[in-house]
Structure 1
């Protein structure tokens, strides 16, 4: 894959004479920052951008934007993990909630970074529904080397362990007990940190090592959240998060469209010489200057769907993909990602890159593929 060749961040070299982009930048903001590395000594410097004549650059960069987009139902699934129902009848003081990072990434099929971003958006919600806490281990495992009786005896002086046994009675006759710490703390009304401290102390008795080993595992997201939101409040929160995700995607697509349109308008086709077209050079400077002077430079940018070049071929490929991998529970977005060559936690490129459908429909509109794939999946069910 071709990458940008520029002087990187932190290099304060004043006599850089040229900046060469072997592919298109994704926005004017990126482009100006990158070319701004050249000619800092006040002497002439040259900036080159190589573009594919087939407009493939824009399609390639769209992949990275769509990689961060999320379906509405995925956000709903995340909210169900955050707003766990409680018995508070009026105002809820907010309860500690924790869920596994690794399992949630697999469950939602989105990266940890995207989930963290959504949680930050949620924390910044006007109604301040949640407060983010530092990540912590969510699972406690107590192992007894002295038999089942050792755990039972220890529970008499350790309330968190006693509550864990009460919540998991099927494990009361085993030499080890595994349970979610935050769930136990929530039932007791304790802070999970205090519960962990009490549980860790089980390893010691009268200043000596006991016959119990306590392990904490499975790092998880952790936050304070109410458990008594109404359906209307949950729907409003869902709408708010989805709107922010969609707006971010639209903004990135408009930035890409703006820089692509500008660069193609001043391109010298098949000109690989070192000479510059003064008129094109002046036009590009004017476009960039107007862009940054505008109050809303993206207001006039109109996004046009790339459409589907051959819908019959697309539908046949969707059916062939689903048939070929019958044990895989595809979603419309998962199919679109494969067709665009976008990896995700459940569809890594190292595995799915070998699939013959990988990047097969890169020139087709991503959201149109999502829509058609969802339709075909429902039909095949």
Structure 2
């Protein structure tokens, strides 16, 4: 679906302008698949929370960091999803942590004039670094920048990370994980529903049978306005079924072949569903997995249906491997 406005008119010279809506089912299905790109499973959320509230973070007022790139790959979560979870932990009913400004956790320091120990003798910050004494990050960066201006050092910052301080440890991580997963699932469902409603409204307007071009355009506008009003009024008519199918005869067979062909990888049902929908993720990027024969092959099948089939085949795959090992 693409909405285009005629160039250089509406709001500029006062003349009437028209917007043109171009619609095709392939684009709709692709956008619908992408709506699942931020989704996460309870298992992944549980692993993420276990890391955030690990034994290393129990020290009172300790500043903790979570390197974004490595964590994103480890938990197969996008950066914005991890940030959403952390923000909820700070602003939810219970404040579990306090978020701090992001920073780079790794700084490579190169000395050009003086040796580190020599420079440490006349610079307290360098001395602190050499002795591994805790100093405020802002003080360190400011002093290193000063040393750079003097030609003493150059430095490279890398590994951006989320920073936080744990204020309270959850009594039951499993319960918290379940709560967060349900909340994120509602967000995912809402995204898909909005797209289905938009698609339904566009199709209803395009299917208008008026013969006159002028009257047809006016009626299409009224249809769109009515559908939009229904949506914002919370009308039940907005619960429009999608154009995806609920089953496919070869789905489970193809998932079985896919698993056998990629024994080296550790999949989750969601990861398999994403690949079948042609959607990449941090742990399964487009650049690698778009080369597989099954990439985007089942875009027209409901995402949840693929996840259920994938879960069944994953269990069967594990059972078969266990039987072969004995």
TM-score range, shorter chain: 0.7 to 0.9
**In the alignment, is the contact (CA less than 8 A) between 1:144 and 1:150 conserved in 2?**
no
Q: 1:118 aligns with which of 73, 85, 95?
A: 85
Q: 1:289 aligns with which of 229, 232, 240?
A: 229
Q: What is aligned with 1:328?
A: 265
Q: 1:129 aligns with which of 86, 91, 96?
A: 96
Distance 1:241 1:109 in 2: 16
Q: 1:95 aligns with which of 49, 52, 62?
A: 62
Q: What is aligned with 1:258?
A: 197
User: Which digits, 9 at most, give the CA deviation of each residue in 1:1-60, with x for residues without a partner?
Assistant: x7543479xx88426xxxxxxxxxxxxxxxxxxxxxxxx9363x44433334xx545422
Which runs of 5 or more structure 1 residues have no equivalent in the other structure? 16-39, 164-183
Distance 1:103 1:86 in 2: 18
- The alpha-carbon distance between structure 1 residues 81 and 270, as it changes in their structure 2 partners (threshold 3 A), is farther
Q: Please give the TM-score of this superposition, normalised by the length of structure 2.
A: 0.75
**In the alignment, is the contact (CA less than 8 A) between 2:3 and 2:21 conserved in 1?**
no
Q: Please give the TM-score of this superposition, normalised by the length of structure 1.
A: 0.66
Q: What is aligned with 2:49?
A: 79
Q: What is aligned with 1:68?
A: 38
1:1-381 correspondence runs (5 A): 3-6=2-5, 13-14=10-11, 41=14, 43=16, 45-52=17-24, 55-85=25-55, 93-139=60-106, 158=127, 161-162=130-131, 185=134, 191=136, 193=138, 196=140, 217-226=158-167, 229-232=169-172, 234-268=173-207, 274=213, 276-277=215-216, 279-292=219-232, 294=233, 296-297=234-235, 301=239, 306-311=244-249, 313-381=250-318
Larger helix proportion, structure 1 or 2?
A: 2
**In the alignment, is the contact (CA less than 8 A) between 1:141 and 1:214 conserved in 2?**
yes
Which runs of 5 or more structure 2 residues have no equivalent in the other structure? 319-326
What is the Cα-based RMSD across aligned positions, in Å?
A: 4.1
Deviation at 1:94, TM superposition (A): 3.8
- The alpha-carbon distance between structure 1 residues 6 and 132, as it changes in their structure 2 partners (threshold 3 A), is farther
**In the alignment, is the contact (CA less than 8 A) between 1:59 and 1:363 conserved in 2?**
yes
Distance 1:110 1:302 in 2: 29
